[in-house]
């Protein structure tokens, strides 16, 4: 039988590749499947960093105190058994070698997760080398005939203690580092959530609209106090609703449409002839949850690029329900002014798309098209939010 020859090919190394020694590193493809120079450097840096981090973790009060108790018990037993200072020094050096090599060796050699691997065998050999090295070399070099700890009849037990002790310390350090990493991620997420809330509030509060409304209210206070009072109450109610929406992952569709009505009414109070709106929605509205203020940027765009840009006509909001097994909502916003493509650098539409993708996992759609001298914005979404958002 002839051996089938396969051509040498480039082997692709994934971006996050975990080697048999537990190191995740990035390395480019090289002939024959070897790591590139960048991958080898990153693996080396990972090993050095892991060893240093392990040594530092051993000196924390929690572990350092426990190791000190073990050390005192070890040398005390040696002193009571042999009364030899040299034997005690030998035991102390063996204990130091264990602390320096066993936990760090386990973390470097053994991959995280999975079953037995080559790394486990290498770790076992490392512990055996430490035990035999001190038993055969150090003791003979110091001409010690017998010691209580390093005795030929107890080398197997000592090896097992090295294995279990190194594994226990390494796992404890890894669990602690994982917990600290989770806490740091949670803190970063909390900070990101705070920033996101501020950004969301800034995104949903059009400063031009807010300033113009406040200026109009100031003018109405002199000319028509009743209108000024109504506008102030309407603006306060709208802001209160928006602030509540920022703190909530979802709210009723009725609240979303009500917010749009409040927005449009404020525009109408300012200039009823210029800003005209019409809602074509079913009564009662479907009892479904939607992300808070997800449609508000679309409503604001309809006003800004419609009557706000000098185009004459009314803004029409239509909502319909598709009778499918899973209930599907269709929202259409029609405004004067022909759609001319997305504006470069605009963030409002991109934010709506990201929120829809997060809330509905790709099942929601958002589209724009021109219909003569008018623009149609269409949103289709399922009637249920994903479990992560609801």
Q: Which of the four pLDDT bands, split at 50, 70 and 90, describes residue 333?
A: very high
Of 124-138, 145-159, 255-269, 335-349, give the range with the top mean pLDDT. Answer: 255-269
Q: Which of the four pLDDT bands, split at 50, 70 and 90, describes residue 365?
A: very high
- The answer to whether 216 touches 266, Cβ cutoff 8 Å, is no
Phi, psi of 385 (to 5 degrees): -75, 160
Mean pLDDT along residues 355-380: 89
What is the DSSP secondary-structure string of 73-128? HHHHHHHHHH--HHHHHHHHHHHHHHHHHHHHHHHHHSPSSSS--HHHHHHHHHHH
For the cut 50, the answer to whether the pLDDT of residue 23 exceeds it is no
Phi, psi of 112 (to 5 degrees): -80, 130
For the cut 80, the answer to whether the pLDDT of residue 51 exceeds it is yes
Distance CA 163, CA 175 (A): 18
Residues whose CB is less than 8 angstroms from the CB of residue 197 and which lie 6 or more positions away in sequence, other chains included: 246, 247
Domains of the chain, residue spans: 10-184, 205-382
- Burial annotation 110-147 (CB, 10 A radius, 16+ → b, else e): bbeeeeebebbebbeebbbebbeebbeebbeeeeeeeb
Pair type for strands 30-31 and 10-11: antiparallel
The number of helices, as runs of H, and strands, as runs of E, in the chain is: 11, 11
Report pTM: 0.50
Tokens of 192: 């990101």
Encode pLDDT of 129-176 as tens digits: 888 887 777 766 666 666 777 776 677 888 888 889 889 898 888 898
278 or 136: which carries more pLDDT confidence? Answer: 278
- The answer to whether 71 touches 182, Cβ cutoff 8 Å, is no
- The answer to whether 105 touches 173, Cβ cutoff 8 Å, is no
Of the listed ranges 173-182, 190-199, 335-344, the one predicted with least confidence: 190-199
Q: What angle do CA 273, 300, 293 make, to 5 degrees?
A: 130
Of the listed ranges 33-37, 72-76, 218-222, 316-320, the one predicted with least confidence: 33-37
For the cut 60, the answer to whether the pLDDT of residue 386 exceeds it is no
Q: What angle do CA 50, 55, 61 make, to 5 degrees?
A: 130
- The answer to whether 90 touches 138, Cβ cutoff 8 Å, is yes
For 315, other C-beta atoms within 10 Å of its C-beta total 22
What pLDDT is stored for residue 83 in this prediction?
82
Residues whose CB is less than 8 angstroms from the CB of residue 209 and which lie 6 or more positions away in sequence, other chains included: 266, 267, 300
Above pLDDT 90, what percent of the chain? 12
> What residues form DSSP beta bridges with 330?
320, 380
Fold of 205-382: Heat Shock Protein 90 (3.30.565)
Encode pLDDT of 373-382 as tens digits: 999 999 999 8
């Amino acid at each position: 039988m002839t051996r089938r020859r396969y051509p040498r090919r480039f082997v692709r190394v994934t971006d996050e590749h975990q080697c048999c020694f537990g190191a995740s590193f990035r390395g480019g493809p090289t002939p024959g499947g070897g790591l590139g120079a960048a991958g080898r450097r990153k693996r080396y840096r990972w090993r050095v960093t892991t060893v240093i981090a392990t040594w530092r973790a051993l000196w924390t009060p929690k572990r350092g105190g426990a190791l000190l108790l073990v050390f005192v018990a070890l040398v005390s037993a040696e002193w009571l058994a042999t009364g030899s200072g040299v034997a005690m020094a030998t035991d102390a050096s063996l204990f130091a070698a264990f602390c320096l090599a066993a936990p760090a060796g386990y973390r470097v050699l053994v991959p995280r997760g999975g079953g037995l691997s080559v790394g486990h065998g290498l770790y076992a050999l490392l512990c055996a080398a430490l035990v035999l090295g001190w038993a055969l070399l150090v003791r003979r070099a110091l001409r010690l005939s017998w010691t209580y700890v390093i005795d030929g009849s107890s080398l197997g037990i000592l090896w097992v203690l090295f294995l279990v002790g190194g594994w226990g310390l390494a796992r404890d350090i890894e669990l602690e580092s994982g917990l600290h990493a989770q806490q740091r991620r949670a803190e970063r997420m909390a900070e990101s959530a705070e920033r996101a809330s501020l950004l969301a509030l800034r995104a949903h509060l059009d400063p031009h609209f807010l300033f113009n409304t406040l200026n109009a209210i100031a003018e109405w206070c002199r000319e028509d106090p009743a209108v000024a009072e109504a506008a102030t109450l309407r603006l306060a109610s709208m802001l209160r609703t928006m602030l509540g929406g920022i703190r909530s992952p979802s709210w009723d569709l009725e609240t979303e449409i009500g917010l749009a009505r409040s927005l449009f009414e404020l525009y109408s109070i300012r200039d009823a002839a210029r800003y005209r709106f019409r809602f074509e929605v079913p009564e009662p509205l479907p009892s479904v949850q939607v992300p808070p203020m997800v449609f508000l940027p679309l409503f604001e765009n309809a006003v800004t690029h419609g009557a706000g840009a000098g185009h004459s006509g009314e803004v029409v909001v239509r909502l319909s329900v598709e009778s499918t097994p899973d209930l599907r909502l269709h929202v259409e916003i029609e405004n004067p002014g022909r759609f001319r493509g997305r504006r470069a650098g605009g963030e409002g539409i991109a934010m709506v798309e990201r929120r829809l993708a997060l809330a509905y996992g790709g099942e929601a759609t958002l589209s724009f098209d021109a219909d003569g001298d008018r623009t149609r914005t269409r949103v289709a979404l399922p009637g249920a939010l994903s479990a992560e958002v609801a």
